[in-house]
């Protein structure tokens, strides 16, 4: 588990280093926050269709929706669907699932100006996946007694996990963002999945792994509106 | 400005390449697919269950139903490669102390078969729990099941045969 914490920390520190460069270039008298605007952002993970084409035994599609509250807290909902298929000498089965995640992101960069929505963040998620595993056919190879085979009946399973995540979103054009998340994922009910685990759980990863490293690359579109009765925080003075 | 922002996005590139490379590494099956019954031969002692190792001069061990010899004239007192059958609930072995087959004994094991999941890459196998044993006594004094769980655990002697 510690290796994921370390990896995420390392990447976030590198983001922080970029951010520091930006701050050095900017005048010191700058606003620190602007909570007068709300933002709703919808994104689609554009890396998944690419990997779906390259790795045919795994398929997943993921979308995200986040809402800016205040104090650099974003409320996040994510969801998607996918499937996995194992076709080996010893075992043959498939599974499909939908998943949902909820959590928050905390922006860790200071805004450079009130309309600055570029962000680096760290976050937490709780994830749940509803899995349908097909009948599995197995083959036991035995040179002494001869091969034997059989069918394990299909099953509906539920997976729970939590995630530590970090990443960036940059506004390339007005309202259009690109960015990525790296994720350390940790299964919460691994014992229930131990007996013939799903080959691939969309939203999580390999069903037989207790922890997973993963990433997403999102394209997002945001809409913004002014809030009523919101105090604007005054700029800091040196 | 856009160019500067793209630096943030490019940070992910080596991560994605590494992730994809790891995803494509196929996972071979490193686990043993069959489990074995480990047998030791001993000289009977007064206590009945303990004994000194008894080396068989030319041991022959096998299965009468397919006439297969697993050991054929070996000088040994440990026989770790005997098996039970996944297709039956009982199995007879034959065991002879030398290759003349004089006084060949048979041992019949009665057991439960448990279909056991190994891993996604190795699939399933059968593990066994020995419930009982019957044997002839031409040369054998007694047979003791020390550990009836045949599940691939290393360094366990399952059956002791006393002469």
Residue A8 lies in domain: 2-25+39-226
> Are B83 and A145 a contacting pair at CB < 8 A?
yes
pLDDT tens-digit series, residues B10-36: 666 667 666 666 666 567 888 888 899
**pLDDT tops 60 at residue A18:** no
Query: What CATH number is given to the structural domain containing A152?
Result: 2.40.160.20
Cβ neighbours of B87 in A, within 8 Å = 145-146, 148
pLDDT tens-digit series, residues A132-163: 999 999 999 988 888 999 999 999 999 999 99
pLDDT tens-digit series, residues A162-206: 999 999 999 988 999 999 999 999 999 988 888 899 999 999 999
> Are B5 and A172 a contacting pair at CB < 8 A?
yes
Q: Could you tell me the pTM of the whole model?
A: 0.78
Q: Is B4 helix (H, G, I), strand (E, B) or coil?
A: helix
The predicted pLDDT at position A24 comes to 46
More confident residue, A228 or B120: B120
**pLDDT tops 70 at residue A41:** yes
Confirm whether A236 is domain-assigned.
no
> Are B24 and A145 a contacting pair at CB < 8 A?
no
Cα separation of A15 and A172, whole Å?
17
Cα separation of A183 and A164, whole Å?
6
Task: Determine the distance in angstroms separating the CA of B135 from the nearest CA of chain A, rounded to an integer.
Answer: 22
Q: Which DSSP string do the residues of B87-141 spell out, in sequence order?
A: T-SEEEEEEESSTT-TT-EEEEEEEEEEEEEEETTTEEEEEEEEEEEEE--SS--
Q: Is A66 helix (H, G, I), strand (E, B) or coil?
A: strand
How many structural domains is chain A composed of? 1
Cα separation of A144 and A76, whole Å?
57
**Overall average pLDDT of the B119-140 stretch:** 92
Main-chain phi, psi angles of A81, to 5 degrees: -155, 165
Cβ neighbours of B7 in A, within 8 Å = 18
Cα separation of A111 and A33, whole Å?
6
- Interacting residues of A35 by C-beta distance below 8 A, sequence separation 6+: A70, A71, A227, A230, A231, A232, A233
User: Using CB atoms, which residue from A170, A172, A215 is nearest to B16?
Assistant: A215
CA B18 to chain centroid: 39
- Name which of B3, B7, B12 to mutate to probe chain A: the one with the most chain A Cβ atoms within 10 A of its Cβ: B12
Residue B17, chain A, CB below 8 Å: the answer is: no
pLDDT tens-digit series, residues B51-82: 667 788 888 899 998 888 899 888 888 899 99
Contact A128, A158 (CB under 8 A): yes
Terminal Cα distance for chain A, rounded: 42
Task: Determine the distance in angstroms separating the CA of A138 from the nearest CA of chain B, rounded to an integer.
Answer: 6
pLDDT band (50, 70, 90) for residue A33: low
pLDDT band (50, 70, 90) for residue B49: low
pLDDT band (50, 70, 90) for residue A23: very low
Main-chain phi, psi angles of A3, to 5 degrees: -65, -30
Contact B42, B58 (CB under 8 A): no
> Are B12 and A217 a contacting pair at CB < 8 A?
yes
- Interacting residues of B155 by C-beta distance below 8 A, sequence separation 6+: none
Cα separation of B33 and A13, whole Å?
46
Q: What residue ranges do the domains of chain B occupy?
A: 37-162
Cα separation of A101 and B117, whole Å?
30
More confident residue, A109 or A18: A109
Task: Determine the distance in angstroms separating the CA of B114 from the nearest CA of chain A, rounded to an integer.
Answer: 13
Cβ neighbours of A138 in B, within 8 Å = 123-124
The predicted pLDDT at position B39 comes to 92
User: Using CB atoms, which residue from A170, A196, A214 is nearest to B117?
Assistant: A196
User: Using CB atoms, which residue from A138, A141, A170 is nearest to B9?
Assistant: A170
Q: Angle at Cα A99 formed by Cα A163 and Cα A221, nearest 5°?
A: 80
**Overall average pLDDT of the A83-89 stretch:** 93
Task: Determine the distance in angstroms separating the CA of B50 from the nearest CA of chain A, rounded to an integer.
Answer: 32
> Are B11 and A11 a contacting pair at CB < 8 A?
yes
Cα separation of B107 and B54, whole Å?
18
Cα separation of A182 and A189, whole Å?
22
- Name which of B21, B123, B125, B126 to mutate to probe chain A: the one with the most chain A Cβ atoms within 10 A of its Cβ: B123
């Amino acid at each position: 588990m510690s290796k994921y914490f370390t990896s995420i920390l390392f990447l976030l520190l590198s983001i922080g280093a970029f951010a520091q460069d930006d701050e050095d270039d900017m005048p010191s008298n700058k606003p620190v926050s602007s909570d007068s605007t709300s933002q709703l952002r919808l994104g689609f993970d554009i890396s998944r269709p690419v990997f779906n084409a390259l790795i045919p035994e795994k398929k997943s599609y993921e979308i995200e929706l986040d809402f800016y509250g205040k104090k650099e807290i974003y409320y996040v909902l994510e969801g998607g669907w996918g499937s996995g298929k194992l076709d080996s000498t010893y075992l043959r089965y498939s599974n499909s699932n939908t998943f949902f995640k909820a959590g928050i992101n905390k922006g860790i960069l200071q805004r450079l100006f009130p309309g600055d929505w570029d962000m680096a963040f760290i976050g937490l998620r709780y994830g749940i996946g509803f899995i349908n595993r097909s009948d599995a056919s197995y083959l036991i190879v035995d040179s002494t007694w001869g091969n034997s085979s059989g069918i394990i009946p299909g099953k509906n399973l539920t997976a729970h996990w939590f995630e530590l995540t970090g990443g960036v979103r940059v506004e390339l054009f007005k309202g259009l963002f690109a960015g990525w998340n790296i994720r350390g994922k940790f299964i919460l009910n691994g014992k229930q999945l131990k007996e013939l685990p799903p080959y691939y759980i969309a939203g999580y990863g390999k069903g037989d792994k207790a922890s997973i490293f993963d990433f997403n690359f999102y394209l997002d579109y945001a809409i913004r509106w002014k809030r009523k009765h919101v105090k604007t925080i005054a700029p800091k003075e040196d | 400005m856009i160019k500067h922002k793209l630096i943030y996005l490019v940070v992910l590139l080596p991560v994605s390449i590494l992730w994809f490379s790891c995803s494509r590494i196929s996972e071979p099956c490193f686990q043993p697919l069959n489990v074995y019954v480990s047998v030791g031969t001993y000289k009977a002692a007064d206590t009945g269950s303990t004994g000194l190792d008894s080396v068989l001069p030319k041991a022959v061990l096998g299965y009468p139903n397919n006439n297969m010899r697993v050991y054929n004239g070996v000088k040994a007192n440990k026989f770790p490669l005997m098996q039970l059958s996944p297709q039956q609930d009982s199995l007879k072995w034959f065991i002879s102390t030398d290759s003349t087959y004089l006084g060949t004994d048979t041992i019949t094991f009665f057991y439960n078969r448990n279909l056991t999941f190994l891993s996604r890459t190795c699939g399933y196998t059968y593990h066994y729990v020995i419930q009982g044993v019957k044997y002839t006594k031409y040369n054998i004094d007694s047979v003791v099941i020390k550990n009836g769980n045949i599940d691939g655990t290393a360094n366990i002697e399952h059956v002791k045969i006393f002469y």
